[in-house]
């Protein structure tokens, strides 16, 4: 059965509902239930680990008679796994829904396969509706599930000519207040923030996520320090709401974050750390804050990333360009999608299973 216009409209509504849910170890998911006449009769979204999934949240608002024969429109393929909650695919089958329309496929080893289970039970299923938008909504979660590690964002601030600091090392402030406020909002969206010991020793950053008035956001990223040098006991990072993690190697840091269920890692550690992450092929997203200032010199935003010839240079696609005051934010991602269907799924817990100096001085 072809996808109808009311179903597409309902999917867009489901995307909006999904964004109400928290970002974290679980994906943001929204669901809308349509009557046989194509009218919205219930809505739901996932509110976090241990709470009902979006489909079940919507089903709970209707009686058994009201649900039977309806169409459920959901942003992510209904799960097929029993964790803290039961499988949504089974809940939909038992409720007697006639049709399920979903956007992004669930790549989880344990949680995927809901569509096949629904079809086997005689439920009509339409997959991949507005798939590009559905994948974009939970791209970080999809990457994390497929690669078995956090989604990694690398951020830096630079002058128009690509410098991260002046020749004397000063970098406060290359960008303006609007750009710095944006960085703190993105920190608050991350689960962990990574810097090198060089940044900690030179700038003594707090690495908290703060509003423009200085108050802390409710969600704070776990600070991670990479390097072998000792960090003073009175360093500001040791007063962070979360105890900092210390690692000598990037691989060790990523491994612990994976074990802790960290979903999104924000790398803000200066040219050395940023270059190491990029050279290792771990950057899923690059945020380049560009200020209209010329500095010159050799303090580049990136150091050696292993590019000996232009043919070896990693190519990115521009996802967006935003104007923040006088500055620009360019967001770029690898040209090969990390969340596409060709990528091998990683064997990790399914959804619901629980949980230097580049404008960073004093931050």
Tens digit of pLDDT for each residue in 87-145? Answer: 899 999 999 999 999 999 987 655 568 999 999 999 999 999 999 999 989 988 888 88
How many beta carbons lie within 10 A of that of residue 29, not counting itself?
A: 33
Give the pLDDT of residue 356: 41
Q: What pLDDT is stored for residue 341 in this prediction? A: 37
Report percent pLDDT > 70 for the chain: 90
Give all domains of the chain, ordered by start, each with its CATH number: 5-137 (3.40.140.10), 147-334 (3.40.430.10)
Predicted local distance difference test score (pLDDT) of residue 82: 66
Is the pLDDT confidence value at 342 over 50?
Answer: no
Say which residue, 334 or 338, is predicted with more confidence.
334
Residue 55 annotated to the active site:
yes
pLDDT the model gives residue 354: 31
Q: Are 265 and 152 in contact (CB under 8 A)?
A: yes
- Residue 320, token pair as written in the block: 């967006």
pLDDT at 83: 63
State residue 224 phi and psi, 5-degree precision.
-125, 130
What pLDDT is stored for residue 26 in this prediction?
A: 81
| C-alpha 143: how far from chain center | 8
Q: Residue with structure tokens 């960085």?
A: 183
Count CB neighbours of 109 within 10 A: 15
Q: Choose the catalytic residue: 7, 39, 43, 55.
A: 55
Asked if pLDDT for residue 58 goes beyond 90, the answer is yes
**Model-level pTM greater than 0.85?**
no
HSE-CB of 69 using CA atoms within 13 angstroms = 7
Phi, psi of 180 (to 5 degrees): -65, -35
List beta partners, residue 125.
Answer: 100
* Alpha helix segments (H runs only) across 260-340: 270-279
Query: What is the mean predicted confidence (pLDDT) over 158-184?
Result: 89
Extended strands (E) in 99-250:
99-104, 124-126, 151-159, 192-196, 222-226, 245-247
| Angle in degrees, CA 332, 260, 136, rounded to 5 | 30
HSE-up (13 A, CA, CB side) for residue 275? 15
Of the candidates 73, 65, 60, the one whose C-alpha atom is nearest the C-alpha of residue 126 is 73
Q: Which residue has the tokens 């509110």?
A: 47
Judged against a pLDDT cut of 60, whether residue 313 lies above it is answered with: yes
Q: Grade residue 155 by pLDDT with cuts at 50, 70 and 90.
A: very high
Length of the chain: 363
**Average pLDDT rounded to a whole number, residues 72-94:** 86
The mean-pLDDT minimum among 67-71, 269-273, 324-328, 347-351 falls in 347-351
Residue of 320, 293, 287 whose CA lies nearest to 176: 293
pLDDT above 90 for 258 = no
pLDDT above 60: residue 151:
yes
Does 215 score more than 90 pLDDT? Answer: yes
Calpha distance 175→338 (Å, rounded): 30
331 closest CA partner among 362, 287, 293, 300: 287
């Amino acid at each position: 059965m072809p996808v109808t216009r009311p179903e597409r409209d309902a999917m867009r509504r489901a995307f909006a509902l999904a964004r109400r849910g928290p970002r974290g170890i679980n994906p943001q998911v929204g669901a809308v239930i349509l009557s046989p006449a194509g009218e919205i009769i219930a809505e739901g979204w996932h509110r976090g680990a241990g709470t009902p999934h979006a489909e079940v949240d919507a089903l709970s608002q209707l009686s058994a008679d009201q649900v039977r024969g309806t169409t459920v429109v959901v942003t992510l393929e209904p799960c097929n796994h029993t964790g803290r909650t039961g499988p949504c695919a089974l809940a939909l089958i038992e409720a007697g829904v006639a049709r399920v329309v979903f956007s992004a496929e669930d790549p989880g080893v344990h949680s995927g396969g809901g569509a096949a289970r629904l079809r086997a039970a005689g439920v009509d299923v339409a997959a991949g509706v507005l798939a590009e938008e559905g994948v974009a909504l939970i791209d970080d979660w999809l990457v994390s599930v497929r690669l078995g590690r956090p989604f990694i964002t690398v951020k830096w601030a630079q002058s128009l000519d690509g410098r991260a600091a002046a020749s004397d090392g000063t970098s406060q402030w290359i960008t303006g207040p609007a750009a710095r406020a944006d960085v703190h909002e993105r920190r608050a969206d991350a689960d962990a923030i990574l810097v090198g010991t060089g940044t900690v020793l030179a700038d003594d950053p707090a690495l908290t996520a703060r509003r423009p008035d200085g108050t802390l956001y409710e969600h704070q990223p776990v600070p991670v320090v990479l390097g072998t040098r000792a960090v003073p006991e009175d360093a500001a990072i040791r007063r962070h709401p979360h105890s900092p993690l210390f690692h000598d190697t990037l691989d060790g840091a990523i491994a612990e974050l994976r074990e802790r269920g960290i979903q999104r890692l924000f790398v803000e550690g200066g040219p050395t750390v940023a270059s190491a992450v990029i050279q290792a092929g771990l950057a899923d997203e690059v945020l380049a804050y560009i200020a209209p200032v010329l500095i010159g010199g050799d303090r580049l935003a990136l150091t050696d990333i292993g590019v000996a010839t232009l043919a070896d240079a990693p190519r990115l696609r521009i996802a967006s360009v935003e104007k923040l005051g006088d500055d620009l934010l360019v967001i770029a991602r690898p040209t090969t999608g990390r969340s596409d269907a060709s990528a091998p799924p990683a064997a990790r817990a399914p959804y619901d299973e629980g949980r230097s100096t580049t404008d960073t001085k004093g931050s």
